[in-house]
Structure 1
């Protein structure tokens, strides 16, 4: 009997302990559920709370983080979200059009109009137009510029127009090479842009006869009332001056924005400035690319004898008289013509 009572008491005590443990577990679970519910409420505030949060962020409120990078406290970007699509929806097709579109336009023009021939043919007498340093400077700027256009075209628009034709593996190799080449060629381009802008500026200011040059399209048209018209031009004609100032201004913006992107640790740009640099860089590249195509066509196909100027530094005397008569007459009057021996 005594043993039975002892077993009953032990069973009651064990049941009591189990019941108490069960209550405790239920209370803990309930507390955890309440805490989780509270966190969910905090993580999903009311619409008014969300509005207040974003309003504070846009007014410059900063958070805390262990990051030591520049602008680490900035919670969000301040620029409108639609700017993100400018690069893909506008600049990418624009640079493709500026290169390949202009090539097609000029190819068609040359096919219909033909090149601008020397009316009196080559004289066989050559006069100095550019110094050897100027010729080297031209190519120091021109070769990197061409490589930058091709690699920039790949980086800006290749994802949309080239990758679908190559596939992922080939595209990865091409874009990797383009990125490295673009960064390397940026340095000689900056040097060439700076020196050409400073040293060649003196001959690039507009004169009164330059407006007449535009009216007859430089005398390059071989039909109608424009045929045989050779407007006055100084050392640089009006078209070359337009190209120079486009290169100087747009090229300067390309250099400035490129430095921001190439040396972010040195410049430490904000997120908004970084995006602005990307957009400015792409927009100016579109302009430079289009003018470069025009410049190449005008110097090679369109102007008979024009390419020789940037190969040897000398030009045929008849070419100088026909395309840059004001410059030639000034040198002749001042007896400063230098003939090639």
Structure 2
């Protein structure tokens, strides 16, 4: 037994010393014994999730061998299959294809796996937290505050809050967004619960329908975004009244508190500008996805951001050279990230505009709101409307 113990200890110490000697002072494995190929240390490092320097592969694609380059795709070429694979993987191969599309010559897209792993992993996980967190906040708010009622006595008179064109723009924007959000979520999560219910063929039909709706209703969404912006941007410029509204919490947390507000209060202005900024951003990334390889957005954007020095402060250096496929992957990831935030904001907006506040839905339902509701939630706007009506009734007719 002692002999066996001595042998095991000796083997362990010998292996440890060999592992130490196989790396240089900077921790780079010595590939002399493998002819420059991958070592055991490279494999173990990848298994541990550590970043491995691939320069020994990307810079060793057989490009210095002219004779090899001439015959690398022939049956008698002297370049090894490994060299050919590396040249294809790292984009240094001389590739000729019949299709002349911008991405046709990229036969192997080396960055595809990070996108797939991020899309099916952290992107969905944290996106789910965002939506579930907003739903939890709304439920908690409802339990603590309840439905926001009209405190004063109803007058029986109504005031025109939004005309028909304003309501058309709103519902075009909102309705298309709801369908886009639903079809997008089905695309992300559908296979998890729909394949067990409908099978793969059934899910394929549903997924294809979601794709068609998502692609085509995007135009309605963008048109609605333009109409909403034109209609209401002048009413959503921040002013001092908004500070008073914010200081009082909008009266949302205290019964009987009704801070003054114009046509849009500070909370509605926050939602408006969030919809505009997120709407423009998600539209740009959506257009990039609708027209593949025609609208690259991220390489130029990352170059500008890098020039500010901000990424370097956090130890980052954003890539500025991307293949067409990488551009599409970044566009898809950004599209989904913005969508998660957008959906969470709209969920809160839907709650307050419907079951969360008495009389609020009438503003977009019929366009007419109870006068007392307007007095409590938009007193300054109501005063402006009444002054205009009073001016019309007192003006003498032209003779």
> Structure 2 length normalisation: TM-score?
0.65
1:61-105 CA distances to partner (integer Å, 9 max, x unpaired)?
A: 753222222232345547585344222213323444444543343
Q: Contact 2:130–2:340 at 8 Å: present in 1 too?
A: yes
Q: Contact 1:129–1:309 at 8 Å: present in 2 too?
A: yes
Change (3 A) 1:152 1:184: same
Change (3 A) 1:152 1:50: closer
Change (3 A) 1:297 1:91: same
- The equivalent of 1:280 in structure 2 is 334
- The equivalent of 1:314 in structure 2 is 368
Distance 1:255 1:75 in 2: 29
Q: Give 1:185 shift.
A: 1.4
- Listed as ranges, the gaps of 5+ residues in structure 1 are 1-35
- The equivalent of 2:221 in structure 1 is 189
> Structure 1 length normalisation: TM-score?
0.75
> Which of the residues 330, 336, 354 maps onto 1:300?
354
Q: Contact 1:141–1:193 at 8 Å: present in 2 too?
A: yes
Distance 1:55 1:69 in 2: 19
Distance 2:238 2:110 in 1: 42
Q: Contact 2:293–2:328 at 8 Å: present in 1 too?
A: no
- The equivalent of 2:81 in structure 1 is 43
Structure (1 or 2) with the greater helix fraction: 1
- Listed as ranges, the gaps of 5+ residues in structure 2 are 1-73, 298-323, 394-399
Whether 1:205 aligns to 2:237 is yes
After TM superposition, list the pairs within 5 Å mapping 1:172-183 onto structure 2: 172-183=204-215
> Which of the residues 144, 147, 171 maps onto 2:179?
147
1:251-282 CA distances to partner (integer Å, 9 max, x unpaired)?
A: 11111111121233765882222112101110
After TM superposition, list the pairs within 5 Å mapping 1:1-341 onto structure 2: 42-45=80-83, 53=87, 57=91, 63-74=95-106, 76-77=108-109, 81-160=113-192, 162-164=194-196, 166-221=198-253, 226-264=254-292, 267=295, 270-335=324-389
Q: State the structure with more CA Rg.
A: 1
1:115-163 CA distances to partner (integer Å, 9 max, x unpaired)?
A: 1111113221101111111111111111111111111111123234554
Q: Give 1:193 shift.
A: 1.0
Q: Contact 1:234–1:326 at 8 Å: present in 2 too?
A: yes
- Secondary structure, in 3 states, of the residue corresponding to 2:355? helix
Change (3 A) 1:255 1:44: closer
Distance 1:247 1:129 in 2: 20
Q: Give 1:229 shift.
A: 1.8
Distance 1:128 1:209 in 2: 22
Q: Which moved more, 1:85-94 or 1:126-135?
A: 85-94
Higher RCO (C-alpha 8 Å, min separation 6): 1
Change (3 A) 1:77 1:198: farther
Change (3 A) 1:287 1:268: closer
